[in-house]
Amino acid sequence: MIIVGKYVNTHGIKGEIRILSDFSRKDLIFKPKFKLYINNKEFIIKSYRKHKNYDMITFEGINSINDIEYLKGNNVYIKRDDINEFIDEDLYKYLISVNSKLYKIKNILMNNFQKILVLENDKMVPYVKDFILKKDDEKKIIYMDLPNNLL
């Protein structure tokens, strides 16, 4: 299971919920018929819309605030197997190899131009194609060639 956000509040009386999410691929999951899990309970998305900083969701079979409000404050999850694409969250399973030295990924940030990988030594490196030599999915290692002053 992968955390995709937090159910922070309801909206209106018909069971719509507000989710705060920084999930990298909302386009893959926040759509009708996709399954979300809150407190180990499965919910199927009926509708989705964006409102300010929130992802607004209604679920099939939930027609009242009373049917969903008790779960407020819980994290929202998906099953990893429900997505068939590589997502940013998968990067945490990989090590970064630079000059034969391996680093764990501590965090992934996004600026206006690219993803930034924060390594275990708190150094930040851009995750861009120009620096990636190869990605070994079997060993879970991404080999990078970085300019000397980046690491």
Those residues with Cβ within 8 angstroms of residue 83's Cβ, 6 or more apart along the chain or in another chain: 25, 28, 29
Q: 71 φ, ψ to 5°?
A: -95, 0
Mark whether 136 and 74 lie in a shared domain.
Answer: no
Mark whether 77 and 143 lie in a shared domain.
Answer: no
What pLDDT does 49 receive?
Answer: 96
- Total domain count for the chain? 2
Structural contact between residues 59 and 71, judged by C-beta atoms closer than 8 angstroms? no
**pTM over cut 0.85:** no
Q: Above 70 in pLDDT, residue 151?
A: no
Mark whether 65 and 97 lie in a shared domain.
Answer: no
Nearest 5°: the CA angle 55, 60, 64 is 80
- Encoding tokens for residue 2? 């992968």
Domain that holds residue 62: 2-82
Mark whether 57 and 17 lie in a shared domain.
Answer: yes
Q: Above 80 in pLDDT, residue 148?
A: no
Domain final position from 39, 62, 82 = 82
Q: Count the Cβ atoms, other than its own, within 10 Å of residue 7.
A: 22
